[in-house]
Amino acid sequence: MSTFPAYPTSRPRRLRTNQNIRALLQETRLSISDLICPIFVRHDSEKRPVQSMPGQYQHTLQSIVDEVKKVEQLGLKAIMLFGIPEKKDPEGSDNLSPNGIATKAIQIIKKTCPDLLVISDLCLCDYSDHGHCCIIDPANKTYLNEPTLEYLAKAAVIHAQAGADMLAPSGMMDGTVKAIRHRLDETGFTNTSIMCHSSKYASVLYGPFREAAECTIQFGDRKTYQIDPPNAREALKEMHIDIAEGADILMVKPASFYLDIIRQAHDNFETPIAAYQVSGEYSMIHAAADKGWLDLKSTTLESLMAIKRAGAQNIVTYFAKEAAQWIS
């Protein structure tokens, strides 16, 4: 490390004297194009507010039209879509249907805003009645890896056929990227990219999402397929494997509690790194702001800047629309 001359020769405060100097020397810059806006959609006559996530809604196939128009008008380039089917079953059948909620929503969004990048979530948890991210053996309630890969490969093609630009598998099953990439390539979707939730931790911060996506688990937990929070090298191993299997973008999830993982991913891989500022992060900031303990705008922007500074190239955040207005 360089040795700097001491005071009074060195006066670092000179370069913090006013806003123009600080802006000139800003090391990390947050831009609208960094942000990805999550959207929930369901079959219904009216959009429903998500009680634990102020300002977030379960949209309908009608209200999603105005929503994506607003997203695009704000200058945002991408959304991440989560479908909530009318009926859920153990196999997550709606996600494999050309007439399922996700495929219908993708078609509507691409017709409304053709240039908007649609990243489609593939995870079984949104579509299954048990809430897990994988196919379950009903006899002993064990989690089945290989049948889940076949499910995800089929769902990937269905979503790509509907017009999804990018697929976001988040179930943390071994071999996910390989199964999806192989099936996409053999069916002609070689340009459909994969943003894999490569480092998805078994975190406490997903609670509000489970209300939004109606995917509370009915038994057990997700600790046998999501990463144990104390582990860092395990996350890097997962990312190594996903790159080898064909992942185009690696995701770290959650973001704020795992800034060290984002930094290690950035430093170790040339593959682009994304991070997901998850529902619990969003709700905590809102709760503190509602109490008057924190300023919503300042806290949000600082939290996003921290994620970007750690090394994330893109950030999935429920603050995307507000942040787009604040930084424009």
Instruction: Kindly state the average pLDDT of the residues 106-132.
Output: 93
Averaged over 275-296, what is the pLDDT? Answer: 98
Residue 186, domain member (yes or no): yes
Asked if residue 171 has pLDDT above 80, the reply is yes
Catalytic positions are 200, 253
Q: Does some domain include residue 248?
A: yes
- Is 117 part of any domain? yes
pLDDT in tens, 172-185: 999 999 999 999 99
Domain presence at residue 3: no
Q: In the structure, what pLDDT confidence band is assigned to residue 304 with cuts at 50, 70 and 90?
A: very high
Q: What is the pLDDT of residue 217?
A: 83
Residue 172: give its domain's CATH number.
Answer: 3.20.20.70
pLDDT at residue 215 tops 90: no
| Residue-by-residue DSSP string for 90-141 | TT-GGGG-TTSHHHHHHHHHHHH-TTSEEEEE--GGGTBSS--SSEEETTTT
SS3 (DSSP) at 205: helix
DSSP assignments along 164-202, one per residue: -SEEE--S--TTHHHHHHHHHHHTT-TT-EEEEEEEEB-
Residue-averaged pLDDT of the chain:
95
- Number of residues in the chain: 328
The distance from CA 126 to its chain's CA centroid, rounded to whole angstroms, is 14
Q: For residue 279, is pLDDT > 80? A: yes
Beta strand pairing call for 135-137 and 142-144: antiparallel
Is 319 within a domain? yes
- 1 pLDDT above the threshold of 80: no
Residue 48 lies in a domain: yes
Per-residue pLDDT at 120 exceeds 80: yes
- For residue 41, the SS3 value is strand
The residue-averaged pLDDT of 46-70 equals 97
- Residue appearing with tokens 């185009």: 248
Domain range for 295: 31-327
Q: Which two tokens stand for residue 236?
A: 């890097």
In a domain, 225, yes or no: yes
Domain annotation covers residue 149: yes
The 8-class DSSP code of residue 233 comes to: H
* Predicted TM-score of the model (pTM): 0.95
Give the total number of structural domains in the chain.
1
Residue 130: phi, psi to the nearest 5? -95, -15
| pLDDT confidence of residue 145 | 94
